[in-house]
Amino acid sequence: MFKSSTNQEKCYAHLSLAEREEIAIALEQGQSMRSIAETLGRSPSSISREIKRNSPPVNKVTYRGNRAQKRAEDRSCRSHAKERLANPLVKAYGEYHLIHDGWTPEGIAGRLPLDFPEYKTNYESIYRWIYTKRRDLIPCLVRGHTKRHTRPSGKKTRVSRIPKRPDITERPATVDLRAQAGHGEADTVVSRQSKACAAVLVERKSRFFIVLRMKDKTASAMHEAVAAALSGLPAGSRKTLTL
């Protein structure tokens, strides 16, 4: 015969904000943990654990009820958060191709469903898994930052810094036919490794182009380069120029 357990079920209730405020006041008054526990109807171990877990890391700052409540709520949210890359196969797949093949998280997320149709993930989950669980894999990333750079939400409107810049939407429809000489386009070629920058002007019909080195990557330098290139062309040869 098995002994039946008591009907009384043990249930632990987390400390409330009001109780944490009472603890903070009692500590300011110099009361002991046992005295605080008797006042709140808690065990001394619960009060001791609460003070240790939710006290500020800096000793100069004392225990505060509202701050302790915030720390407890943050831990509760993290404990219920969904684990990134919970499947061991997806983890092993991503780790192998990061280390041995130099793949990016974007490439891993795109290739995974092709190799294993029953599994799928997204590259943002891979990035977060690396930066939270596998920081040893950060050097394998193309741009391995110490901290994860959050992506900005929404698209920013780009405003032209070149004065009197003709927009490409204002270009005459006849220019797209490339049937008449004199219509040109201008753009920049920028190097990632250095500050070098070049202005490139192309005539649309003949594909004749001019390349000029710019002093820097600013819009004013681009404007000066275009003006210098156009000054060397025969008078009346230029009809439209799109930047």
pLDDT, position 108:
92
pLDDT, position 6:
45
The runs of H, that is alpha helices, within the chain are: 17-28, 33-40, 44-54, 65-79, 88-100, 105-115, 123-132, 219-231
pLDDT, position 160:
56
Q: Which residue has the tokens 């009346």?
A: 236
Provide the residue count of the chain.
Answer: 243
* 236: region left, alpha or beta (phi > 0 left; psi from -120 to 50 alpha): left
Distances (CA, A) of 242 to 117, 176, 204: 47, 12, 10
Tell me the pLDDT of the chain (243 aa) as tens digits. Answer: 344 444 444 556 788 888 999 998 998 888 998 999 999 999 999 999 888 888 877 665 678 888 888 888 888 776 666 667 878 899 999 999 999 988 999 999 999 999 999 988 888 889 888 888 888 888 888 876 666 666 555 555 555 565 666 677 777 777 878 888 878 788 888 876 666 788 888 888 888 888 888 888 787 887 887 787 777 666 555 556 565
**Cross-strand pairs, 184:** 203, 241
Q: 181 near 205, Cβ under 8 Å?
A: yes
